[in-house]
């Protein structure tokens, strides 16, 4: 806790240099590696937002969600349904994705925060499965398993590279807001409830209310990622709220490193790269991916951010922490 | 056998081949992008299609390729996920300059990929995935499908059931998603038209992939049907047949269901000896009259050590149809190619005079319905007395499609 | 029909219990959420398919022999995995264990697809177990009763082990208070390994027992794991008797749901799960602070 608070005092300059360097590196890849590179960069960025939204819950609120894809999926569908069913212009529909996800977060979150630990996780799983089933079965409204397609030009017709850049700007805004949340009094409350809800309660906080606020914020940003994903592909499918995306997000956050703001970011970067390149190299990509996950967990039991932190410490770059 | 197909009868005017896009590569290999669910729910089906497509590409190349150009197959795994399917398709189109996109299996991946094909104007056909949504609401001019779509298959089943006068009460059953519902709807509507007096009960919709079918079997048999029509497949179908035996389903009723060769093979001895009727896409034992088909089956067996399944045969037919269209068009430039796709008549493994209708990209592919039976020489059940329903009679007329398109708007 | 559906439900319930018992056992003692439980179930089914023709095909003894042998093999594989990998990170965050078991899901799925291919396989049912008891118009297939019997044997065996053996005492001690058990000289590592092996054995057993009643394919892992979670959660994670009750609730609900709310079957079960969880939170509110 103390270490984390101290980080807020870190020299601003170093942090900004780090962010600028990261953005420059991603933008360089985006502009220099052709369309395939831009597609990859865009996917990584969307996953960074998605994983970071879960990271807020897990690293700071110590709430483990087994159903985060519900809010990603609601983001995609909020956007796509606004266009297809309510004739909202596509640009305006963008707000409905995160909005629906936030509402979903409010409803499900209100139930989930009544529980703790593994039962909390299991209730998030139940809520996500209910969401998935509704999207899958409500054929007349959601399009059922065949989803919604053809309601817009993917990426609003932007070139792949320009879309990746635009997504990067949006992701930076999201991450900045999340960063501010974590380092605001609200963030302190979230962290203290996450560490010891009884002590926090004794200090006058209402743990459930704090957790619910964290849950809604997290769902909202998962919805932003889901909306971006729907824009990216120009479609929405129930899969986006399914177990696959939930597990992806969990792997990214844990792999990236719990208890670190950048955990989700590192995890999204590495895991998305793995998921893209391993299948190109071998038909046995599941085996290789599994073995790589095992290796990472065994070598870096505190996640990639922990590993990066140690490396940065050795090199004397504080900003990477 | 090959040359005959490549030199398929060409009905179109010579002018068809004229317009070629400026940026379209006219030399180097013709690239076929195969984005298939090699892992995930579709893996078994896509593997069979890919085997046949690999074989077809080798044959084409041995005979000099298409339009004198070699054919190169680029394979990607869509993991049976719509987002992966769309992404891999896009990457192959922009990164590998593929001339053709195929390999699709599940309805959702198919709709995701047809949208990419439309946007980037790359020809795309399906040989497994069969949702008629791709022909109706989501139709786009660069798409065609080479097998009977879900509705056509259900109509064929209805035609077959209608000819059994002793069947008076039917229970329709389907997996609870688009394919199951549209199959049940098409079956019910068509059967009502053919035999207005027949009693069709409320349909039963088990969850997709349900492994425990016992409660659904009980519910279906409680209605004392003469036959059950089941639009289910894979694990759910195996459960239906295996568990149904314990409830006397094949003494008390009959089952009409989708039975492709892979399903027959995986059931093995567990298939009931009688009272099962299968609707199939391209069963090898029903096309053996044709010399081409016999040669293909022999070649496939020698190469892969197993019988070709419906997916293999349709996959091969699909590729050869493309080759014929490209030869006819004199180019693989998308617009010229699509014109040829809509105009040529093709002799395939599944018979002659196969054509793709321009209005919805649907090939007049036949459906096969027969009676499950154990025959000498096979270690799994095949079908006897197979009736072949020509595609034209099964396809929705253009007005019906237009009405459905208007309704979807 | 209600009677038949009730029996159907109880039968499926016992199958679900067989699946969930291993998961809840492992969680109860070592707090590991084993995502690979479904994969181990699947492995048991494939091994049974492989072994049945090698032993005595068509006979009851051959079938049970194959199932038990498969379960033992799955337990051996699970134990090796536990000792080589899982054991190394008992100190780290429990979420790391979760990722490790997810990695195992990937690995086993690929291994199964590579060895047996993506096609569905069919395990023949022993001749003596085919057919049904016919009472009036109602058919009661025999095979589910066999599964039910196997489930009862497992329940009885567990009661015996847990209440009447030294291993059971250690197990209860480790479940109730891990730290205290360890202070009192219980070899924690050994207990964990044994429990993990037992859980894997149960997964393999369930996979083998269910194999002849549906098809065996490489997608069974995900199909099974979610049902197993639901059952464990309804019964209370780590609680074996709870799992039995939860399994019966789920089985009967599904069977009855088909009659009364056919399209809601799947949602209904998650709703029950959510309701049980919320009810649990209300119950806790009334109790002491912790």
- Structural domains in chain A? 2-320 (1.10.3470)
Tally the residues of chain C.
290
What are the residues facing A235 on neighbouring strands?
A149
Q: Write out the two tokens for C161.
A: 């082990």
**Contact map slice: C 164-183 vs A, CB within 8 A:** none
Tell me the CA distances in angstroms from A166 to A45, A162, A177, one per residue in order.
Answer: 10, 6, 17
Q: Which of A298-307, B32-41, B288-297, C9-18 has the lowest mean pLDDT?
A: A298-307
Q: What average pLDDT does chain A have? A: 90
Mean per-residue pLDDT, C77-91: 88
**End-of-domain residue from the set B280, B315, B350:** B280
Nearest-neighbour CA in chain C from B259: distance (Å): 13
CATH class of C2-286: mainly alpha
Task: Note whether B352 and B299 are same-domain residues.
Answer: yes
Task: Note whether B9 and B131 are same-domain residues.
Answer: yes
Nearest-neighbour CA in chain B from A6: distance (Å): 41
Q: What is the pTM of this model?
A: 0.91
Q: Which helix (H) or strand (E) holds C134?
A: strand C132-135
Provide the pLDDT confidence category of residue A320 given band limits of 50, 70 and 90. Answer: very low
Q: Which of A17-26, B43-52, B255-264, C178-187 has the lowest mean pLDDT?
A: C178-187
Residue-level pLDDT at B331: 92
| Residue B38 domain-assigned (yes or no) | yes
Whole-number Å distance between alpha carbons of B153 and B158:
9
Provide the pLDDT confidence category of residue A48 given band limits of 50, 70 and 90. Answer: very high
Locate the chain B residue with the closest alpha carbon to C7.
Answer: B215
Q: C38 or C238: which carries more pLDDT confidence?
A: C38
Residue-level pLDDT at C283: 63
Are the CB atoms for C218 and C27 separated by under 8 Å? no
Q: Write out the two tokens for B393.
A: 């009679």
Residue-level pLDDT at B17: 37
Mean per-residue pLDDT, C42-64: 92
Are the CB atoms for B138 and B115 separated by under 8 Å? yes
Whole-number Å distance between alpha carbons of B343 and C21:
61
Task: Note whether B209 and B307 are same-domain residues.
Answer: no
Using a CB-CB cut-off of 8 Å, the residues of chain A touching B81 are 239, 244
What are the residues facing B199 on neighbouring strands?
B169
- What is the rounded end-to-end Cα distance, in angstroms, of chain A? 14
| Residue B384 domain-assigned (yes or no) | no
Domain ranges of chain C: 2-286
Are the CB atoms for B54 and B122 separated by under 8 Å? no
Domain of B347 in residue numbering reads as: 2-148+287-366
Hey, which chains touch A, using 3+ CB pairs under 8 Å?
Answer: B, C
**Residue C286 in this model has a pLDDT that exceeds 70:** no
What's the domain count of chain B? 2
CATH classification at residue B135: 3.40.50.2300
Percent over 90 (pLDDT), chain C? 42
Residue-level pLDDT at C124: 86
Task: Note whether B142 and B23 are same-domain residues.
Answer: yes
Task: Note whether B130 and B229 are same-domain residues.
Answer: no
| Residue B399 domain-assigned (yes or no) | no
Residue-level pLDDT at C79: 95
Mutate to test the interface with A, among C34, C97, C277, C280 (most CBs of A within 10 A): C277
Interface check A154 vs B, CB under 8 A: yes
Instruction: List the pLDDT tens digit at each of the 409 positions of chain B.
Output: 444 443 443 333 333 333 333 345 677 899 999 999 999 889 999 999 999 999 999 999 999 999 999 999 999 999 999 999 999 999 999 989 999 999 999 999 999 999 999 999 999 999 999 999 999 999 999 999 999 999 999 999 999 999 999 999 999 999 999 999 999 999 999 999 999 999 999 999 998 888 889 999 999 999 999 999 999 988 899 999 999 998 999 999 999 999 999 999 999 888 999 999 999 999 999 999 899 999 999 999 999 999 999 999 999 999 999 999 999 999 999 999 999 999 999 999 998 889 999 999 999 999 999 999 999 999 999 999 999 999 999 999 999 999 999 988 7
Interface check C276 vs A, CB under 8 A: no
Counted across chains A and C, CB pairs separated by less than 8 A come out at 115
Task: Note whether B90 and B116 are same-domain residues.
Answer: yes
Residue-level pLDDT at B37: 94
Mutate to test the interface with C, among A70, A123, A288 (most CBs of C within 10 A): A123
Shortest CB distance from B178 goes to which of A139, A154, A235? A139
Task: Note whether B204 and B322 are same-domain residues.
Answer: no
Neighbours of B199 (CB within 10 A): 13
| Residue B389 domain-assigned (yes or no) | no
**Residue A120 in this model has a pLDDT that exceeds 80:** yes
Task: Note whether B174 and B206 are same-domain residues.
Answer: yes
Mean per-residue pLDDT, A44-66: 95
pLDDT in tens, C150-161: 999 999 998 898
Q: Do A126 and C237 touch (CB under 8 A)?
A: no
- Helices and strands (H, E) in chain B, number of each type: 15, 16
Interface check C233 vs A, CB under 8 A: yes
| Residue B408 domain-assigned (yes or no) | no
Whole-number Å distance between alpha carbons of A196 and A14:
32
Task: Note whether B144 and B6 are same-domain residues.
Answer: yes
**End-of-domain residue from the set B227, B259, B280:** B280
Locate the chain B residue with the closest alpha carbon to C216.
Answer: B235
Nearest-neighbour CA in chain C from B357: distance (Å): 33
**Contact map slice: C 118-137 vs B, CB within 8 A:** 118-122, 124-125, 130-132, 134
| Residue B15 domain-assigned (yes or no) | yes
**Residue C141 in this model has a pLDDT that exceeds 60:** yes
Q: Tokens 């900003």 map to which residue?
A: A319
Mean per-residue pLDDT, C5-18: 92
The vertex-C279 CA angle with C278 and C282, nearest 5°, equals 90
Interface check B61 vs C, CB under 8 A: no
Mean per-residue pLDDT, A276-303: 89
Shortest CB distance from C107 goes to which of A129, A137, A290? A290
Residue-level pLDDT at B88: 95
Nearest-neighbour CA in chain B from A244: distance (Å): 10
DSSP B146-197: SS--HHHHHHHHHHHHHT-TT--EEEEEE-SSHHHHHHHHHHHHHHHHH-TT
* ipTM of model over 0.85: yes
Are the CB atoms for C151 and C18 separated by under 8 Å? yes
Residue-level pLDDT at B25: 62
Mean per-residue pLDDT, C110-123: 92
Task: Note whether B291 and B269 are same-domain residues.
Answer: no
**Region of residue B234 (left: phi > 0; alpha: psi -120 to 50; beta: else):** left
Whole-number Å distance between alpha carbons of B276 and B280:
13
Task: Note whether B233 and B322 are same-domain residues.
Answer: no
Hey, which chains touch B, using 3+ CB pairs under 8 Å?
Answer: A, C
Residue-level pLDDT at A316: 63
């Amino acid at each position: 806790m103390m270490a984390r608070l101290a980080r807020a005092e870190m020299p601003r300059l170093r942090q900004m240099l780090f962010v600028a360097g990261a953005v420059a590196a991603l933008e360089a890849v985006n502009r220099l590696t052709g369309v395939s590179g831009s597609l990859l960069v865009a996917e990584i960025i969307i996953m960074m937002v998605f994983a970071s939204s879960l990271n807020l819950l897990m690293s700071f609120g110590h709430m483990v969600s087994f159903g985060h894809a519900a809010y990603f999926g609601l983001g995609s569908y909020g956007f796509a349904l606004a266009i297809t069913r309510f004739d909202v212009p596509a640009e305006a529909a963008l707000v409905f994705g995160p909005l629906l996800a936030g509402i979903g977060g409010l409803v499900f979150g209100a139930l989930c925060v009544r529980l703790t630990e593994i039962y909390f996780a299991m209730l998030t799983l139940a809520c996500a499965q209910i969401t998935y089933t509704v999207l899958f079965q409500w054929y007349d409204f959601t399009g059922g398993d065949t989803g919604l397609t053809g309601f817009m030009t993917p990426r609003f017709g932007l070139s792949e590279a320009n879309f990746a850049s635009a997504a990067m700007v949006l992701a930076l805004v999201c991450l900045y807001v999340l960063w501010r949340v974590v380092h605001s009094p609200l963030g302190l409350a979230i962290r203290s409830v996450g560490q010891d809800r009884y002590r926090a309660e004794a200090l006058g906080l209402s743990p459930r209310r704090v957790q619910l606020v964290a849950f809604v914020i997290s769902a909202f940003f998962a919805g932003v990622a889901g909306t971006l994903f729907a824009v990216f592909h120009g479609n929405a499918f129930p899969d986006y709220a399914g177990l696959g995306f939930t597990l992806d997000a969990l792997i990214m956050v844990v792999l990236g490193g719990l208890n670190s703001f950048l955990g989700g970011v590192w995890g999204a970067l590495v895991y998305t790269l793995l998921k893209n390149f391993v299948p190109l190299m071998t038909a046995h990509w599941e085996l290789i991916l599994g073995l790589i996950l095992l290796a990472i967990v065994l070598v870096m039991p505190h996640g990639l951010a922990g590993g990066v932190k140690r490396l940065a410490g050795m090199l004397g770059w504080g900003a990477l922490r | 056998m090959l040359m005959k197909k490549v030199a398929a009868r060409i009905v179109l005017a010579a002018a068809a081949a004229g317009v070629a896009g400026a940026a379209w590569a006219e030399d180097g290999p013709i690239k076929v992008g195969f984005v298939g669910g090699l892992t995930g729910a579709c893996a078994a089906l896509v593997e069979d299609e890919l085997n046949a497509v690999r074989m077809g590409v080798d044959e084409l190349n041995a005979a000099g390729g298409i339009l004198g150009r070699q054919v190169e197959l680029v394979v990607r795994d869509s993991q049976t996920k719509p987002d992966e399917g769309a992404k891999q398709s896009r990457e192959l189109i922009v990164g590998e300059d593929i001339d053709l996109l195929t390999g699709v299996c599940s309805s959702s991946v198919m709709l995701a990929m047809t949208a990419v094909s439309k946007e980037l104007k790359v020809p795309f056909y399906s040989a497994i995935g069969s949702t008629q949504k791709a022909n109706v609401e989501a139709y786009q001019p660069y798409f065609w499908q080479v097998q009977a779509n879900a509705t056509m298959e259900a109509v064929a089943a209805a035609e077959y059931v209608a000819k059994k006068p002793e069947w008076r009460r039917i229970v329709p059953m389907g997996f609870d998603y688009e394919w199951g519902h549209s199959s049940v709807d098409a079956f019910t509507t068509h059967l009502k038209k053919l035999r207005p007096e027949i009693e069709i009960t409320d349909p039963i919709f088990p969850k997709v992939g349900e492994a425990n079918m016992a409660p659904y079997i009980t519910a279906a048999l409680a209605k004392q049907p003469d036959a059950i029509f089941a639009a289910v497949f894979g694990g759910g179908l195996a459960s239906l047949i295996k568990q149904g035996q314990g409830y006397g389903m094949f003494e008390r009723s009959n089952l009409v269901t989708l039975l492709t060769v892979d399903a027959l093979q995986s059931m093995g001895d567990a298939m009931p000896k009688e009272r099962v009727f299968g609707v199939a896409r391209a069963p090898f034992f029903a096309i053996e009259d044709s010399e081409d088909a016999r040669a293909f089956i022999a070649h496939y067996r020698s190469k892969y050590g197993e019988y070709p399944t419906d997916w293999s045969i349709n996959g091969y037919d699909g590729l050869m149809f493309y080759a014929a269209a490209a030869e006819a068009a004199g180019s693989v430039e998308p617009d010229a190619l699509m014109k040829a796709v809509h105009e040529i008549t093709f002799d395939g493994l599944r018979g002659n005079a196969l054509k793709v209708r321009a209005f919805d990209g649907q090939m007049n592919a036949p459906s096969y319905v027969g009676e499950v039976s154990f025959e000498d020489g096979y270690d799994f059940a095949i079908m006897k007395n197979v009736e072949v329903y020509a595609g034209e009679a099964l396809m929705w007329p253009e007005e019906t499609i237009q009405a459905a398109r208007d309704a979807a708007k | 029909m209600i009677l038949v559906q009730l029996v159907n439900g109880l039968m499926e319930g016992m199958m679900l219990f067989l699946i969930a018992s291993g998961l809840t056992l492992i969680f109860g003692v070592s707090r590991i959420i084993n995502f690979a439980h479904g994969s181990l179930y699947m492995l048991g089914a494939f091994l049974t398919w492989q072994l049945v023709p090698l032993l005595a095909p068509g006979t009851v003894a051959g079938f049970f022999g194959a199932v038990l042998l498969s379960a033992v093999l799955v337990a051996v594989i699970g134990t090796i995995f536990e000792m080589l990998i899982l054991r190394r990170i008992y100190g780290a965050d429990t979420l790391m264990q979760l990722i490790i078991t997810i990695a195992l899901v990937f690995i086993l799925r690929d291994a199964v697809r590579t060895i047996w291919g993506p096609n569905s396989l069919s395990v023949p049912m022993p001749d003596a177990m085919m057919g049904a008891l016919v009472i009036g118009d109602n058919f009661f297939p025999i095979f589910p009763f066999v599964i039910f019997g196997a489930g009862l044997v497992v329940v009885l065996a567990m009661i015996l082990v847990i209440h009447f053996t030294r291993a059971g005492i250690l197990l209860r001690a480790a479940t109730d208070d891990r730290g205290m058990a360890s202070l009192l000289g219980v070899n924690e590592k050994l207990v964990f390994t044994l429990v993990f092996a037992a859980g894997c054995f149960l997964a393999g057993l369930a996979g083998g027992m269910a194999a002849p009643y549906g098809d065996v394919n490489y997608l069974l892992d995900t199909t099974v794991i979610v049902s197993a979670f639901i059952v464990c959660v309804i019964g209370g994670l780590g609680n074996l008797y709870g799992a039995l009750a939860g399994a019966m609730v789920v089985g009967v609900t599904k069977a009855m749901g088909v009659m009364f709310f056919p399209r809601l079957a799947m949602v209904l079960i998650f709703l029950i799960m959510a309701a049980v969880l919320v009810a649990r939170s209300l119950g806790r509110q009334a109790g002491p602070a912790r």
